[in-house]
Amino acid sequence: MATHDNTINHARSASIIRSIVKHNIFIPCAFLILLLLINIFINPGFLKVSMGTDSNGHPVLIGNLINILSNATELVILAIGMTLVTASSKGQDISVGATLAISGGVVMRVLCGNETQPSSLHAPIIVALLLGCLAGMACGAFNGILVSRFKIQPMIATLILFTAGRSIASMAMGGLKPKAVSSFGYYGNFIPGFPIPTPILITVLVIIITMLVLKFTNLGLYTRAVGVNAKASSLNGLNPSLIKFLTFVVLGLCVGIAGFVQSSRVQTVNPFTIVPSIEMDVILAVALGGNSLGGGKFNMTGSIIGAYTIQTLTSMLMTLNVNTNAVPVFKAAIIVILVVIQAPIVKAFFSALMADLKSKNNRGKGDDTYVVVE
Amino acid sequence: MQNAVLRMRGIYKSFPGVRALQNVDFRLCEGEIHALMGENGAGKSTLIKVLTGVYVKESGEINLKGLDKPVTIKSPQEAQKLGISTVYQEITLCPNLTVAENMFIGRTDELIVNWKKRIEKTNVILSSLGIPAKATQQLSSCSIAVQQMVAIARAVDMECKVLILDEPTSSLDDQEVSKLFSLMRDLRDRGVGIIFVTHFLDQVYEVCDKITVLRNGELVGEYLIRDLPRVELVSKMLGKELGDLSSLHNETACDIARQQEIVIEANELSSDSGIKPFNFKTCKGEVTGFAGLLGSGRSECVRAIFGADHVTGGEIKIHGESVRITSPLKAMKKGIGYLSEDRKRDGIIGDLSVRENMILALQVMRGFFKPFSKAQAQAFADEYIKILGIKTASADTPISSLSGGNQQKVILARWLLTHPDYLILDEPTRGIDIGTKVDIQKLVLKLAEEGMSITFISSEIEEMLRTCSRLIVMRDLNIVGEIKGEDMTQDRIMHTIAGGATTHGDS
Amino acid sequence: MSSLNEAPQIGRFDGIKNKLMQREKLTDTAFLLTITITLFFTIYALAVIFLGDKGFGKVQMFFNLFNENAALIVIACGLSIVMVTGSIDISVGGSTALICTSCIVGLNKYGFNFLTSLLLALAIGLAFGILQGLLIAYLEIQPFIVTLAGMFLGRGLVALIEVNQVQVANPAFEKLSGARIEIPFLGDYNKKGIFLQSKLEYGVIVALIIVVLIFFLLRKTSLGRSFYAVGGNPQSALMLGINVKRTRFMAHVLCGLLAGIGGFLYLFHTRSGSVQQATGLEMDAISASIIGGTLLTGGVGNIFGTLFGVLTGGTVLLIVTAIGSQDPWWPQITRAAMLCFFIILQSVICSRKRNKSE
């Protein structure tokens, strides 16, 4: 910093950079862009989207981006629910993979009955969807009751279904692994003649509904209030237990929709292998979206971008021929790095460092001199 | 002069944005009880935390008797090794361990411990200090006072030279306090230097030898107790004369003729907090107060009226009409507002903005499906920031970054927005600066004049005398008296709280 | 204070406790232990009476309970320790899978022997413990997130090492792992009336020794008591001069070490390894601790309780298999249901206590 002018310029550009860096969707966006760049580096044609035809000769959009957008559907939908649960209950639901297997299983059982290769659907698809969502919501309600009524830490409470869920799904399907008729596959793949994958449309629909709900109800405000300070919220007429319970049910609904999309996508559900370690992906998406895993405020846009980022990562690892079972290694490493960055101690360390650098200019005021150690 | 056991010179400590201590000196002598006084935010706790190694000072020197070099204290363990022990307001022992374990844990790094020997030793110490507890008893089965004494016994046994008692008496009754004081005097006579932090002036004058006053993180001075009359101590702590305060007085009094309209009437109301069934009524524009010690049931009464605790019996009439209040929301819809006692824990919603904190109660009353538009919420926020003079960068600032007084004003705004007929203010002035205190007191009187019924609860009796026209006095979860008009003097209230002459009440 | 209609029940609960306390001054820990031991013997006795023909009458059945659960006993001890300090570790299933597969690969391909594979197991366990402990204790990250990552890391690494299921093909190791102790004078007559002595695996001895050691550690040493202090009230523990971070760290290191030993015992018993191995082991261990009276909130727990928790869980599973259908999903669902039941029970008891003390 040689001259005065220089200092001002520095300060101005620094403040612009800081406001960008501090923006709450900076981390997921930066990470997403980084991943895309790596992908382009690996495969220069990565961004190319073209029109092709599927095996039946229908026109479809083809390309890595389309695949990522389509495959991220379940993750995005789950991340929306998980964001709310994280904010309200200060914990995560680790049973989403298992409960997704349950709702997927219910969908298959409703559609296929006791046949393994039914020639026609046993029930209208809408019934299957509703029952699948109902199953997901029931699981969410179960978790929600444990957390809100019995005051059990969310992760312990959901550990129960995390372990039992896939077995319950297997039971729900009567131990069968039926394969549904191909028309059921429209919802997880393509509607014949329409080039955009259906899951993308479903995602857009779910996101729009979520945004509308957040805008036209107080779900967001209540969830945040309860997450930040449940006691104070209850003295303001809120019912923290009810709101925690509700967020779990909402997550259950998300699980139900995601389970429907997933089972339509694969058309056969193996409860023990379907969406392996998706709970990890979802938590990762929420954390990556700039949400504190300790609850409180939330950032829905961040979570959604986070989910797409994770899907990009997954597909990149697949391109690099990493075994499916080994993918979690990388994600586990990333989530550890993320939570380390988020950790209050690390943050405090860096902010102390920053404060040291510019302490002379800043003179704050306020009479609360105590750092509250909680 | 006596030997100084502890000398702190030029201590500095700051937190991001806050200078907590600036150039503070402190001296403690052998065999004295030294009061450390100051308003909230004066830096008492910070000084003590620096001394006990919870915080590390930024600059300054700490000298201890018997050590040539200044010491740097980096952790509570180090402080203990240097002979500095602390007993905090909240019990800082482990309730799930036994008394003996609490006495000895964390003091040695021995791999294997001979508990039998320790239990014997504990029993000896306990009996020598006259503490009614057994070494093998689980700590949680002792009363709070005994737990506090065990903490002191531990400190004493560690041969501490400096014993810090941080608000030890706030949850004790009179008898327990006097027991604690005799223990403190006993220790003083053994040559221990005791730092006593309290907000009870009476206790300072009862037991201390010297006073050091801090204000806004700076040292005001050190005084011998006999040189510093109470009034001067208070004005040194506040840094201003009391004129502004004393000019306030509730002139409206209970003019029955003018205020026939009874707003709230509670009959034999009781809740699961343990409160005995009580009767209460207040009329339009009246300011009532619940007086009593901490834990006497004053908060529990209003919580029962607001439905914050589970109501187990009795009935409430609002404007003469019997209603069932089972939750805060129902109370709010019936026109009751409740500013809760513990601002940090039960009041503010830390990470949310000033605006969201303000509109919360009104928003909840309005309903889940009818959120305020941002513009509307902003208008509310702007209005009340102006009316109450809230100092905040913007309505988007998280409330947790405001000062205590301004936080309290935001919470007040939250309830004023709901336009209640009856507003309960439970310790609205605790832990906030004197200026805001006066503002709030004035506001209470103004609101009452406009016809709002208010219940005002405070630990400071003078404050209640200034604002309330009628006081309900509580003791041991019972209403023991009602004082109004001419009878409202500090003496009379004290006597009633202590259990002297009961007046026309309903006990 | 409790509401009126709850009062008599609490009174009764108190009465039992007071009676027990008169006989010998019982702490919370000991009180819960008594319940657990009673529970185990009641369940086992009921099984013997009603399901005697399904094998419960046999002495060997009782010993098999230990043979099957030796590894779990050790791992559950580790979990009890972290739970007493108010933390949790759900990575033990993942680390066990990793230990099994990597030891087998070592034994089969790289000429490992018993000792080197044991060392490898311990090293893996310790590495998990140290890494997780650092993150949890010193960076104060939620234990659940850290160990969830640990769990996926463990299983993921298995897939990196060996995707397929593997079996031990090392004669020396197999011989050692096949060895049994014959218990004198105890045994059963088989259908032909021949007396078969009861057999116990060596792993059980190791597990029981560890239980005793850990019991001693928790009861008598400063470190052990510090675990309780930190779990009971970390703030207080800090003020009492306990190094809270180091204590938490040590708890996780110990848990990791025990997971290493437990993982090795698991390998010693099963002699196979796969990605999906030991799924739900973490939950078995947690529920054993909970059944044994360890509070999820920390500060209360007893190692013998955990031992009996494992045995209770094992017995219930045996009963389910004995009476139930052959459907593969029942064991897992039973386990989860049991965990659920005890978590709720604990939550109810705790909230009652809290009400009482207020």
Q: B68 touching C, CB under 8 A?
A: no
- Tell if the CB–CB gap between A175 and C327 is shorter than 8 Å: yes
- H helix or E strand, kind and range, residue B45: helix B44-51
CA distance to partner chain C, nearest, from residue A77 (Å) = 21
Q: Which of B39, B215, B352 to mutate to test the interface with A (most CBs of A within 10 A)?
A: B352
Using the predicted structure, report yes or no on whether residue A257 has a pLDDT greater than 90.
yes
Q: Name the token pair of A295.
A: 């609850």
Using the predicted structure, report yes or no on whether residue C307 has a pLDDT greater than 50.
yes
The vertex-C92 CA angle with A94 and A306, nearest 5°, equals 35
Which ipTM score applies to this complex?
0.80
Beta strand ranges found along B225-370 (DSSP E) = 262-271, 278-283, 287-291, 311-318, 321-323, 336-339
Q: Specify the amino acid at residue C84.
A: V
For the segment C246-257, what is each residue's pLDDT rounded down to a tens digit? 999 999 999 999
Average pLDDT value for chain B: 82
Q: Which residue has the tokens 């390894």?
A: C273
Using the predicted structure, report yes or no on whether residue A17 has a pLDDT greater than 80.
no
Interface of B with A in 294-323 (CB under 8 A): 306, 308
Starting at the earlier edge strand, list the strands of the sheet with B4-15: B18-29, B4-15, B59-64
Q: A2 touching B, CB under 8 A?
A: no
- Tell if the CB–CB gap between C240 and B138 is shorter than 8 Å: no
CA distance to partner chain C, nearest, from residue B484 (Å) = 33
Q: Can you say how many angstroms the Cα of residue C229 is from the centroid of all Cα atoms in its chain?
A: 22
Q: pLDDT-derived band of residue C263, with 50, 70 and 90 as boundaries?
A: very high
| Confidence at residue B17, expressed as pLDDT on a 0 to 100 scale | 54
Using the predicted structure, report yes or no on whether residue A24 has a pLDDT greater than 80.
no
Distance CA C204, CA C183 (A): 13
For the segment C90-123, what is each residue's pLDDT rounded down to a tens digit? 999 999 999 999 999 999 989 888 899 999 999 9
Question: Which has more confidence, C106 or B232?
Answer: C106
Using the predicted structure, report yes or no on whether residue B247 has a pLDDT greater than 70.
no
Using the predicted structure, report yes or no on whether residue B250 has a pLDDT greater than 60.
no
Lowest mean pLDDT among A31-35, A322-326, B385-389: A322-326
| Confidence at residue B502, expressed as pLDDT on a 0 to 100 scale | 40
- H helix or E strand, kind and range, residue C71: helix C59-84
Q: A170 touching C, CB under 8 A?
A: yes
Q: How far apart are the first and last CA of chain C?
A: 6
Q: Which of A372, A369, A232 is nearest to B433 (CA)?
A: A369
For the segment A214-249, what is each residue's pLDDT rounded down to a tens digit? 999 999 999 999 999 999 999 999 999 999 999 999
Residues of C with CB under 8 A from a CB of B: 1-4, 25, 27-28, 220-223, 225-226, 228-229, 231-233, 235-243, 299-300, 357-358
What is the three-class DSSP state of B428?
coil
| Confidence at residue C284, expressed as pLDDT on a 0 to 100 scale | 87
| Confidence at residue B255, expressed as pLDDT on a 0 to 100 scale | 52
Question: Residue A82: what are its φ and ψ, rounded to 5°?
Answer: -65, -35
CA distance to partner chain C, nearest, from residue A123 (Å) = 26
What is the three-class DSSP state of A217?
coil
Q: B326 touching C, CB under 8 A?
A: no
Q: Can you say how many angstroms the Cα of residue A162 is from the centroid of all Cα atoms in its chain?
A: 17
| Confidence at residue C106, expressed as pLDDT on a 0 to 100 scale | 92
What is the three-class DSSP state of B313?
strand
Considering only alpha carbons, which residue of chain A is nearest residue B339? A235
CA distance to partner chain A, nearest, from residue B348 (Å) = 7
Q: A78 touching C, CB under 8 A?
A: no
- Tell if the CB–CB gap between C225 and B80 is shorter than 8 Å: no
Using the predicted structure, report yes or no on whether residue B507 has a pLDDT greater than 70.
no
- H helix or E strand, kind and range, residue B21: strand B18-29
Considering only alpha carbons, which residue of chain A is nearest residue C83? A156
* Cα–Cα separations (whole angstroms), residue B107 to B58, C120, C243: 27, 37, 11
Q: Which of C141, C245, C296, C350 to mutate to test the interface with A (most CBs of A within 10 A)?
A: C141
CB of B466 within 8 A of CB of B250?
A: yes
Task: Spell out which residues of chain C touch residue B75, defining contact as CB-CB under 8 Å.
Answer: 243
Query: In percent, how much of chain A has pLDDT > 70?
Result: 90
- Tell if the CB–CB gap between C339 and A336 is shorter than 8 Å: no
Q: Which of C147, C148, C161 to mutate to test the interface with A (most CBs of A within 10 A)?
A: C148
Report how many Cβ contacts below 8 Å link chain A to chain B. Answer: 116
Q: What is the mean pLDDT of residues B17-34?
A: 85
Q: What is the mean pLDDT of residues B348-360?
A: 91
One of 3.30.70, 1.10.3470, 1.10.10, 1.10.860 is the CATH number of A48-321, namely 1.10.3470
Q: B389: which strand partners?
A: none
Q: Can you say how many angstroms the Cα of residue C222 is from the centroid of all Cα atoms in its chain?
A: 23
Distance CA B459, CA B454 (A): 17
CA distance to partner chain C, nearest, from residue B103 (Å) = 9
Report how many Cβ contacts below 8 Å link chain A to chain C. Answer: 138
| Confidence at residue B258, expressed as pLDDT on a 0 to 100 scale | 52
Lowest mean pLDDT among B135-149, B339-353, C154-168, C184-198: C184-198
CA distance to partner chain C, nearest, from residue B112 (Å) = 4
Average pLDDT value for chain A: 85
Considering only alpha carbons, which residue of chain B is nearest residue A87? B351
Task: Spell out which residues of chain A touch residue C327, defining contact as CB-CB under 8 Å.
Answer: 171, 175
- Tell if the CB–CB gap between B371 and A222 is shorter than 8 Å: no
Using the predicted structure, report yes or no on whether residue C21 has a pLDDT greater than 50.
no
- Tell if the CB–CB gap between C160 and A345 is shorter than 8 Å: no
Q: A109 touching C, CB under 8 A?
A: no
For the segment C28-58, what is each residue's pLDDT rounded down to a tens digit? 667 777 888 888 899 889 888 888 777 777 8
Using the predicted structure, report yes or no on whether residue A69 has a pLDDT greater than 90.
yes
The vertex-C186 CA angle with C183 and C188, nearest 5°, equals 120
CA distance to partner chain C, nearest, from residue B209 (Å) = 27
Task: Spell out which residues of chain A touch residue C163, defining contact as CB-CB under 8 Å.
Answer: 323, 325
Name the residue facing C241 among B106, B111, B115 (closest C-beta). B106
Distance CA A225, CA A88 (A): 8
Q: A318 touching C, CB under 8 A?
A: no
- Tell if the CB–CB gap between A221 and B43 is shorter than 8 Å: no
For the segment A87-103, what is each residue's pLDDT rounded down to a tens digit? 999 889 999 999 999 99
Q: A326 touching C, CB under 8 A?
A: yes
- Tell if the CB–CB gap between B94 and C237 is shorter than 8 Å: yes
Task: Spell out which residues of chain C touch residue B76, defining contact as CB-CB under 8 Å.
Answer: 238-241
CA distance to partner chain C, nearest, from residue A326 (Å) = 4
| Confidence at residue A311, expressed as pLDDT on a 0 to 100 scale | 93
Q: What does DSSP say about strands B453-457 and B287-291: parallel, antiparallel, or unpaired?
A: parallel
Q: Which residue has the tokens 């508990």?
A: B115
Q: pLDDT-derived band of residue B295, with 50, 70 and 90 as boundaries?
A: low
For the segment C139-176, what is each residue's pLDDT rounded down to a tens digit? 988 888 899 899 989 999 998 898 888 998 888 888 88
Q: pLDDT-derived band of residue A369, with 50, 70 and 90 as boundaries?
A: very low
Q: C320 touching A, CB under 8 A?
A: no
Tell me the three-class secondary structure of C305-336, residue by residue: HHHHHHHHHHHHHHHHHHHCCCCCCHHHHHHH
| Confidence at residue A367, expressed as pLDDT on a 0 to 100 scale | 38
Domains observed in chain C: 25-357 (1.10.3470)
Neighbours of chain B (3+ CB pairs under 8 A): A, C
What is the three-class DSSP state of C126?
helix
Considering only alpha carbons, which residue of chain B is nearest residue A226? B349
Using the predicted structure, report yes or no on whether residue B409 has a pLDDT greater than 80.
yes
CA distance to partner chain C, nearest, from residue B74 (Å) = 12
Q: Which of C92, C141, C55, C108 is nearest to C261 (CA)?
A: C92
User: How long, in residues, is chain C?
Assistant: 358
For the segment A122-165, what is each residue's pLDDT rounded down to a tens digit? 888 899 999 999 999 999 999 999 999 998 889 889 989 988 99
Q: A90 touching B, CB under 8 A?
A: no
Neighbours of chain C (3+ CB pairs under 8 A): A, B
CA distance to partner chain C, nearest, from residue B171 (Å) = 14
Query: In percent, how much of chain C has pLDDT > 70?
Result: 89
Q: Which of B49, B54, B38 is nearest to B219 (CA)?
A: B38
Question: Which has more confidence, C247 or C236?
Answer: C247
Task: Spell out which residues of chain B touch residue A371, defining contact as CB-CB under 8 Å.
Answer: 15
Using the predicted structure, report yes or no on whether residue A209 has a pLDDT greater than 80.
yes
CB of B288 within 8 A of CB of B282?
A: yes
Lowest mean pLDDT among A117-126, B319-328, C208-217: A117-126
Interface of A with B in 184-223 (CB under 8 A): 215-219, 221-222
Using the predicted structure, report yes or no on whether residue B41 has a pLDDT greater than 70.
no
Q: Which of B136, B499, B86 is nearest to C24 (CA)?
A: B136
Q: A336 touching C, CB under 8 A?
A: yes
- Tell if the CB–CB gap between C139 and A170 is shorter than 8 Å: no
| Confidence at residue B249, expressed as pLDDT on a 0 to 100 scale | 55
Question: Residue B105: what are its φ and ψ, rounded to 5°?
Answer: -70, 145
Q: What is the mean pLDDT of residues B373-387?
A: 92
Name the residue facing B371 among A216, A236, A365 (closest C-beta). A216
Q: A163 touching C, CB under 8 A?
A: yes
